[in-house]
Amino acid sequence: MDHLSWEKQGQIANVLIQSPPANALSSGILKDLSKVLDEVEADKSIKLVILRGEGKFFSAGADIKEFTSFQQQDDYKNLAQKGQQLFDRIERFHIPVIASIHGAALGGGLELAMACHVRIATKETKLGLPELNLGIIPGFAGSQRLPRYVGIPKAYEMILSGDPISGVEAERLGLVNHAVEETELEEQTMSLANKFVAKSGPSIHAIMSLLPYAQTSQFSEGVNAEADQFGKVFGNDDAKEGVQAFIEKRRPNFKDQ
């Protein structure tokens, strides 16, 4: 892969976007990211993914220069659909994906971060969808995901003005989970990641399959699926160990089975 790398650290997959200077999301990066997800999915011992950007930025947006090579409207539409499908896959991934954000997450970079399950940013990070400044619009589902986190009125303001917000403001609005000092970003990211991977693998997978229902109108389907997963989880050894550990007032020793 030319613009991404990843390594396994225990049960965590550390993924790094490496496309200086802005880590712009080209079609090549989207293709590489899809390959990374395939590789991570094939390793059943991995329980969490952390996505970072190398250098000064998480990702400052899509690769605008690439747009000049397109000839037809369908070329743009196909790129948008590929990005949407990939980000939807991230959102529906079987394990949590944390975006650890520094510098800037703009345009496609913010759209990628919004597809992740948890976002930790520095207080100084700039987050926004500035596409209208170029006479275009968000293409990787930014117009649909941003209102989920900040509400429709604020989404109108952010997209129509093109003005970014800080990590502090993003935390206040619920766009990021935590805004921290830059020197604390790695520590806070790993602290949360380690809390996640300490949980039982089957229970993690169950929750990852259930929470997407809450983003749709299929509430009854969601609660029915929850009941089904609740029964399945209690058939696992980890559930028995967790209950027994609670009774014995000790930490559980999960085996992810």
Catalytic sites, residue numbers:
111, 131
- All residues at 6 or more sequence positions from 158 whose CB lies less than 8 Å from its CB, including other chains: 128, 129, 146, 150, 165
Residue whose pair of structure tokens reads 């000839």 in the numeric block: 71
**What's at 51, amino acid-wise?**
L
Strands (E), 103-168: 104-106, 118-122, 126-128, 165-166
Strands (E), the chain: 4-9, 12-17, 48-53, 97-101, 104-106, 118-122, 126-128, 165-166, 178-180
Closest Cα partner for 140 from 167, 171, 106? 106
